[in-house]
Chains A and B, each alone.
Chain A
Amino acid sequence: MPGAVVELVRARKDYGGTRALNDVDLRIEAGQVVAVLGPNGAGKTTAINLMLGIRKLTSGTVKLFGRPPTDPVARSRCGVMLQESGVPDLLTVEDLVRLFSSYYPRHLPAAEVIRKAGLEGKAGSRFGTLSGGQQQRLYYALAICGDPEVLFLDEPTVGLDVEGRRAFLADLRQWAGAGRTIILTTHYLEEADQLAQRIVVIDRGSVIADATPAVIKSQVAGKKVVLRFRSEPPRALLDSLPATSVQVDGDSVQILSADPVAVVREVMRRGGDDVVDIDVIGADLEEAFVHLTGAARG
C-alpha cells in the first residue's frame, strides 16, 4: 500500500502556555507495529489525539491515510482504544458492538468480534456490570469491530492483571501478524519490547529516539552490571563510577553503564576482594528508557 498511515510534519501542540508537543516529525508506514513510549505527561496521548483529529494542531500538519484525520473516510480505516473514555453503562456488550459496527463500512459479525475479544457469555451483560478487565476487552472489541487496517491504542493494558495483559498482548500479536498496523502508547515498557518493531521515545514533547528495540538497547543504555559482595559495600566504593545509575540492594548492586568494562575495572581496583559474583547483561528497555530521558524515574 503506497503512502503513510499517519504522517506528522512539524506537529506542535500548545495547551495555554504549555507546549505538549514540540515540532514532531513522525511517519508510520502500513504494516508496522509502533510503540510510543514516554513518561507521564511526555506528550504520547497528545500525539495520538492529534493523529485521530480529537485535538487540533497549534501548527504543522497531520495526515491520516493522506487525509485530514477528521475525514470519516480516513477514520473508517482505523480502530481506536482511548484512555479514560467511557461508554454508556446501561448498554450491553452486544448493544455496543452493534452500535460501533454500524459506524464502519465493512464491519465484522458481532458474534465474531465478541469471541475475538474473549467476551463470550458476556454478550448480554451491561457494560456497568463488567469487571475492569472485561471493560478493557470490550473497548478492544469496539476497536476491532470495523475490521480496521490500523489500530490506535492509548495505554491499552492499563487496568489489566498480569494474566490479562499477557493474553491481550498475544491477541494483538496475532492481529498484527496479518500485516496490519498498530500504533500504541504505553509505559509498560516490556510490552513495547514484546510487541513493537519500532519504538518512538517521546519526552517533554519531543521525539528523543526512534529505532528498533534492539538498537535502542544496544546504543543507548548499554549494559547492566550486577555485582554481589560479601556484605553491603561501603558508599565510597561506588562513588563516581562511569555509570548512569547505581542501585544498592543489600549485598547486591546494579549498575547501568555504557562502558561496563570500565565499571568492572574500577570496582575491582577499589575493593575487588569483597566481590563474590559478577553478571554483565544487556539493559532492558525500561533501563534504556530511563537513560534516554536523562532522569531516573521510579
Chain B
Amino acid sequence: MAPVGPMLFEQVRAELLKLLRSPIFSLFSLALPVIFYGFFGVGNADRLTNGVRGGTFLMASFAAYAVANVMLFTFGISIAVERGRRMDLLMRATPLRGWVFLLSRIVAATCFALAALLLLGVFASLTGGVRLDAGRWAGLTVKLLLGSLPFLLLGFAIGYFVSPNSAPAVVNLIGLPMYFASGIFAPLQILPEFVQKVGPYLPAYLYGQVAWDAVGARSDPLWRDLVGLAIYTVAFLVLALLAFNRQENQRFS
C-alpha cells in the first residue's frame, strides 16, 4: 500500500489548489470579513462595547463569521458540487482511504480559515486600532478553530443532503440570517423582539460568545455557551451521518 504521508500531502495540496483557484470562494472567505469590518468596524472603533473598544469587539465578531463561513462553504458547497458531478466516483475505486480524504478537507479548510483570520487581524490592527497581546491572538485563533466543528458538520450535512444547484443558496439562506440573528453582523438590540428571543439559542450566537470572550469582552463564565455548542455539535454530527448514509445507500450500495 502507498504510504499515508505523501497521500495526505498531495490530497491537501489538491484541496488547497481547488479553493485558491475558485475566485468566488476566495472572495467570500477572505475578502468579505475584511470588507464588512471596513463598513462596520472602522467607524465604531473607538466606541466602548461590552468593556472593550468597538474595533476589537467587531474584529472578534467578524473573525467568528469568517471561520464559520469557511467551514460552511468548503464542506457545504464543494461537497455538493463534487457529488453532483460524480467526482467522488473515481476516487472511490482507488486505494485512497476515506479518512485521508476527509482529513485533507479539514486541513485545507483550516488553512483558509487561518488565512482569513490573519488578513482580518492585520486589517483590523491597521484600521481599527486593535491591540491584543500574542496570547489573546493565539487564544482567539485556537478557540475559533475548535469551536467551528458544529459549522463544519452542518456544512457536511448540507453537502450530502442538498442538490448541487441549490447548495450555495441553502448555505447562504442558513448562514446570513443566522449571523444577523446572532449579533455577529449587528447588535441584537436593534433587531426585532422575537429575533432577540431566538438569537441566543443559535449556534452562531454561542460561537460569537467564544470569540468575544477570547478578546475580553465578556465577564461571566462561558460554560453555558460551550454546553450549547457541544449540543449543536452532537446534533449536526447525527445529521451529517444521516446525510452521508443516505447517499451511500443511494449511490454505493
Contact = CB atoms under 8 A, between A and B. Distances in A.
A and B together in one complex: yes
A95 interface: yes
Interface in B1-58: 1-3, 6-7, 9-11, 13-14, 17-18, 21-22
Contact of B86 (A84, A95, A142): A84
A292 B97 CA distance: 42
Given A95-B14, A102-B10, A55 B252 contact: yes
B159 to A, nearest CB: 15
A269 B11 CA distance: 73
Contacts of A91: 14, 17-18
A58 to B, nearest CB: 10
Interface residues of A, number: 35
Interface string A96-116: 101111111101000000000
Interface in A35-55: 52-55
Contacts of B10: 98-99, 101-102
Interface of A: 52-56, 72-73, 75-76, 78, 80, 82, 84-88, 90-91, 95-96, 98-105, 107, 126, 139, 142, 146, 152
B17 A82 contact: no
A86 B95 contact: no
A256 B95 CA distance: 47
B96 A54 contact: no
Given A54-B89, A90-B17, A104 B9 contact: no
Nearest to B81: A88
A264 to B, nearest CB: 51
A86 B11 contact: no
Query: For chain A, what secondary structure do more than half of its interface residues adopt (helix, strand, loop), or is it mixed?
Result: loop
30 contacts: A53-B93, A54-B89, A55-B253, A56-B252, A56-B253, A75-B94, A76-B95, A80-B93, A82-B89, A85-B89, A85-B90, A86-B82, A86-B90, A87-B90, A88-B18, A91-B17, A95-B17, A96-B14, A99-B14, A102-B2, A102-B6, A102-B7, A103-B2, A103-B7, A103-B95, A104-B94, A139-B90, A142-B90, A146-B94, A152-B93
A52 B3 CA distance: 21
B87 interface: yes
B21 A90 contact: yes
Interface string B96-108: 1100000000000
B90 A80 contact: yes
B92 interface: yes
